[in-house]
Amino acid sequence: MAVTDSMQKKILMGIIAVLVIVGGIYFVGNNGAKTPQPAQTSGNGVEEFRKGRALTKEKKLKEALDMYIQAAEKGNLHGMNHAGMYLCNGYGGIEKDVTKGIDYLTKAADAGFSPAQVNLGRAYMNPQYGLKRDLDKGLKYFLAAAEKNNSMAMLYMGFNYEVGRGVEKSKEKALEWYEKAEKLGNKAAKKRADSLRNQ
């Protein structure tokens, strides 16, 4: 059966939807793969971040956000990432503040925190949160995170090469990125790699 342009668009939209869902789940900083992160010094907002995580588990998201902001203000990169995502998305009835949320994500990403780099990369590539699409910035953040062995960033780099978004389309480079992420235990990357290997 011949694949029409309409079918290709539907397949592409399905892939994007899956990546957006997986990426949305990822913001908590744990994608099932071991991703090394910059160390946080003790007393650097760690206690506030831990309290935020405990409150999140109790589904007290507004109180959790307060803790994440306190952690972020003490320079805690995990706190910045969480505060940024909570503010950008308005989780649990939290009033959205995209400007402040992006500011937290940018600070964490520019400090080298790979989950924030992935979240910011997605925000520029898709685009989300009212940001203007900027493929170069998105790729810059994905690549920075991928170089830190972040498997989600590798998944997104593979996808960008697979569909030619911001880079020249290349099945070989896509497969290379997917396989790197697959080796780190990323199941979505394994599915994409299997799909390309079977073409």
Distance from C-alpha of 171 to C-alpha of 199, rounded to nearest angstrom: 10
| pLDDT reading at 198 higher than 60 | yes
Query: Whose CA is closest to 155, among 187, 119, 115, 194?
Result: 187
Q: Which domains does the chain have, with CATH numbers?
A: 41-134 (1.25.40)
Distance from C-alpha of 148 to C-alpha of 137, rounded to nearest angstrom: 17
pLDDT of residue 6: 58
pLDDT of residue 8: 53
In angstroms, the Cα distances linking 116 to 24, 82, 83, 194 are: 12, 9, 11, 28
Give the max Cα distance, the chain. 61
pLDDT of residue 4: 57
Rounded (5°) CA angle 107-109-110: 65
In angstroms, the Cα distances linking 143 to 56, 138, 139 are: 30, 9, 6
Which of 16-25, 48-57, 131-140, 168-177 is predicted least confidently?
Answer: 16-25
| pLDDT reading at 122 higher than 80 | yes
| pLDDT reading at 21 higher than 50 | no
Is residue 78 a contact partner of residue 40, using CB atoms and an 8 Å limit? yes
- Which is more confidently placed, 6 or 84? 84
Q: Give Rg (Cα) of the chain.
A: 17
Distance from C-alpha of 145 to C-alpha of 43, rounded to nearest angstrom: 25
Cβ-proximal residues to 10 (8 Å cutoff; 6+ apart), any chain: none
Average pLDDT taken over every residue of the chain: 85
Residues, the chain: 199
pLDDT of residue 85: 96
Distance from C-alpha of 88 to C-alpha of 113, rounded to nearest angstrom: 18
Distance from C-alpha of 76 to C-alpha of 116, rounded to nearest angstrom: 12
With residue 18 as reference, give the H or E element that holds it: helix 5-26
| pLDDT reading at 61 higher than 70 | yes
Residue 134: how many CA atoms within 13 Å on its side-chain side?
Answer: 14
Is residue 119 a contact partner of residue 81, using CB atoms and an 8 Å limit? yes
pLDDT of residue 93: 87
- Secondary structure letter of residue 35 according to DSSP: -
Q: Structure pTM?
A: 0.79
Q: In the structure, what pLDDT confidence band is assigned to residue 22 with cuts at 50, 70 and 90?
A: very low
| pLDDT reading at 65 higher than 70 | yes
